[in-house]
Amino acid sequence: MTDTAAHFAADPAQGTPRWPRVRRDDAALEATDRLLAALPKVELHTHLAGNVPEWLFAETARRYGIPLDHPEQPYSFVAGMVGFLKLFDQVADTFRTPDDLYRASYESLVAERQSSRLRYREVHYSPTINPHVGYADAVTAIGEGIEAARRDHGVDGRIVVAIYRNQGPEVAERLVEEMIAHPTAHVVGLGMEADETVGPTPLFHRAYLRARDAGIRVTAHVGERGDVGEVLYAVDELKVDRLDHAYALAFDPGAAAHVADRGLHLASAWASAKVHFPRGIDNPLRTLIDSPLDISISSDDPGINRVTLDSELREAAVELELPDDYLTHQNSAQLDAAWIDDATRAEIRAEIDAALSALEPENQEQQ
């Protein structure tokens, strides 16, 4: 047990009881699979470039003459973070027209709807790393892809416009001005991604202040690789409405309690947690789930990683020994934290409740 888990376990007043550890036999794993197959899912932490289906990336890269190490199966040989980031940039380089962005938006939502019964997703997109399509045209095209996926397949989404840390604060501030000048219903917030060590969080204070003053909700990728100072700065100075990753809180009980007291949702990703930290029950993601923090699991970059939301939730449940009740809890927590209107939230909640109610008799028959 990490220090944070021990801290919360020793003082029940710090938050809700910890989730029990569950080691699944074959029957229990089948029950988890039935739950995942039936559950309409919500996720708050994904990236457009990381979501693009492999076939679409290969097709578009071929059309633009982008050289790939493995043209037929470009996602098959991702070697560590360096290989991942190279592929991520190559995928982003295929967004050369509004139609490319439309197709990426549409096809990625449809793929996850078909593989994991996705119902709603918030996708991060960094307009400033795209030299081909301007801000307004880009978010319009992504939004049109979302609308088409909702109309054709019943899966909805919104856009979180992301500051790209590596480009510095001036670019970030201009991006916020673009957001203010070109409002659209599909853009629901501002985030921040890329390398925490290259673009320290305090550099972006003015951009976040401007966004908040304009009524834009904000989140940030912080604490992914262990810097709790980044997390606390985002909470106390940037005054974020949500956090992304924030695994560093697992190593600082006081900071974790501080964030828990603020009631902020942590949109985490098993794909990231298992890369940066040891897999299994000692992973800091399990520590945070054991704490009173409001934390969920998203797929992050399922296209490039050749995973699905269902496969990530299943693997996390097995390796972190999470009960099925947590899987349904975190799904509802993401819906609660989603930046959507109340009517849409109520509609999705009704679908989730109906799916769980229909599953109960089946589970009773299996017992």
Q: Which two tokens stand for residue 60?
A: 């578009």
**Averaged pLDDT in 10-residue chunks for the chain of 367 residues:** 47 58 97 98 98 98 94 86 87 98 99 99 98 98 99 99 96 99 98 89 98 99 92 98 98 96 98 94 96 97 97 98 98 99 98 96 61
pLDDT at position 86? 86
DSSP H or E segment with residue 345: helix 342-366
Q: List strand residue ranges (DSSP E) for the chain, in order.
A: 41-47, 118-125, 156-164, 187-193, 221-222, 242-245, 265-269, 294-298
Other CB atoms within 10 A of residue 345 CB: 16
Dihedral (CA of 271, 73, 51, 24) sign: negative
CATH architecture of 3-366: Alpha-Beta Barrel (3.20)
pLDDT at position 307? 97
Measured in degrees and rounded to the nearest 5, phi and psi for residue 124 equal: -85, 135
Burial of 319: CB neighbours in 10 Å, binned 0-12, 13-18, 19+: middle
Find all residues with CB under 8 Å of 10, minimum gap 6, and list them: none
Query: Residue ranges of the domains in the chain?
Result: 3-366
pLDDT at position 1? 43
Find all residues with CB under 8 Å of 256, minimum gap 6, and list them: 4, 7, 8, 249, 250, 288, 291, 293
- Cα first-last separation, the chain: 32
pLDDT at position 300? 98
Q: Which two tokens stand for residue 361?
A: 């008799």
Tokens 């633009």 correspond to 64
pLDDT at position 47? 98
